A and B are shown apart, each in its own frame.
Chain A
Amino acid sequence: MHGINFYLYLCFVKLICINRYLIIKTMKVTVNINLGGYAFNVDEDAYERLRQYMKTLEKEFSGESSSAEIMTDIEGRIAELFKMRLNSYKQVITMKDVEEVMVILGSPELISGSSTSEERPPRSQRRIYRDPDRRIIGGICAGLGAYFNWDPLIWRVLFAALVLAGGFGIALYLILWIVLPEAKTTAQKLEMKGDPVTIENIKDTVKEEFETVKKKMNL
């Protein structure tokens, strides 16, 4: 008897969990958008996907003289494809619809035919900055260290030697302080280390910085 009771209890718990899951799965926030002069209700995640897609397309056509017209044509077509997917029982555009439309229209690479050319890696340019994160005075040695991939200590010893040798080091340091910009943004900090400036890298760096701050504040 006790065993059955326990079993029923388990079923009950399971039921609640399933219900919860369903509610979370079904009650999505929708976004109202205007596509080619038509209003559409789009699930939030689907909207985000569509927005990103349109953005990459826009970038793809940005070299074109009449990119605005091409985008309007594509927008009109998307509106038409969405309309075909809606009826009185289905009033909201979902992720599935967006993905289907993206397959029909094609990925930006397929559209521009750049799939035939080699993938070009994101621009990575190394520049010298002053590194505010690892600085002792102005961050010059830290910045030089990041640029040449040496330990900043080597530069510090070098500068100290120059200072002791006749004061030329002080003048050089001051000039560099004036001339070199400080790496303020995350993109600049990536450039300083010679890492390509991509969204992924920026995300990683921001996360790293967050961890450092957390450690410093003893959270």
Chain B
Amino acid sequence: MNTDNTKAQMRKGILEYCILAVLSRNSCYAVDIINELKKAEVIVVEGTLYPLLTRQKNAGLLSYRWEESPQGPPRKYYELTEVGKIYLNELDKSWEALVESVNQIRDKK
């Protein structure tokens, strides 16, 4: 068994949740999200984020607006929609339940 493989799978599972959590505070440009996720070591490369953002936008969880950029092309600023907020709320609950379950199993004497 390869631990890297398992770790990657775990990270992949929570990545969508993390993106929504970052956006719950304020609207962000993709690179802001990336920086935050990189700092938390949830994501390794930028390219992973773009398909996920588009998928979440198509699912109605996110919306975006264009904003001028001092460097390069205009940027897409993403924010949570009402549906996205409800969705995040659900994920929050299930995350807490998950952590509790894992802890319960781990700490069992």
Contacts and interface: CB of A to CB of B under 8 A. Distances in A.
A, B: real partners: yes
Interface of A: 36-38, 57, 61, 64-66, 69-70, 73-74, 76-77, 79-80, 82-84, 103-108, 110-111, 113, 115-116
Given A65-B58, A106-B45, A80 B69 contact: yes
**Pairs of residues from A and B, 9 with the lowest C-beta to C-beta distance, nearest first:** A106-B45, A80-B72, A111-B47, A106-B47, A105-B47, A36-B73, A83-B72, A76-B73, A73-B50
Given A76-B72, A79-B72, A116-B12, A66 B46 contact: no
7 contacts: A36-B73, A64-B54, A73-B76, A76-B73, A103-B45, A105-B46, A113-B48
A15 to B, nearest CB: 43
A103 B45 CA distance: 8
Interface string B65-85: 000010111011000000000
B98 interface: no
Contacts of A73: 30, 50, 53-54, 76
B72 A110 contact: no
Contact of A69 (B8, B12, B31, B54): B54
B73 A74 contact: no
For B5, B44, B54, B72, the residue with the greatest tally of chain A CB atoms inside 10 Å of its CB is B72
Contact of A74 (B9, B47, B72, B75): B47
Interface in B37-51: 44-48, 50-51
Interface residues of B, number: 23
Contacts of A36: 72-73
A111 B51 contact: yes
A187 to B, nearest CB: 30
B8 A115 contact: yes
Interface of A is mostly: helix
A59 to B, nearest CB: 13
Contacts of B44: 106, 110
Nearest to A36: B73
Nearest to B15: A113
A16 B71 CA distance: 43
Contact of B45 (A37, A64, A83, A105): A105
A188 B39 CA distance: 50
Given A84-B71, A111-B48, 20 more contacts: A57-B47, A65-B58, A73-B54, A74-B47, A76-B73, A77-B30, A77-B31, A80-B72, A83-B72, A103-B45, A104-B45, A104-B46, A105-B47, A106-B47, A106-B48, A110-B44, A110-B45, A113-B8, A113-B48, A116-B12
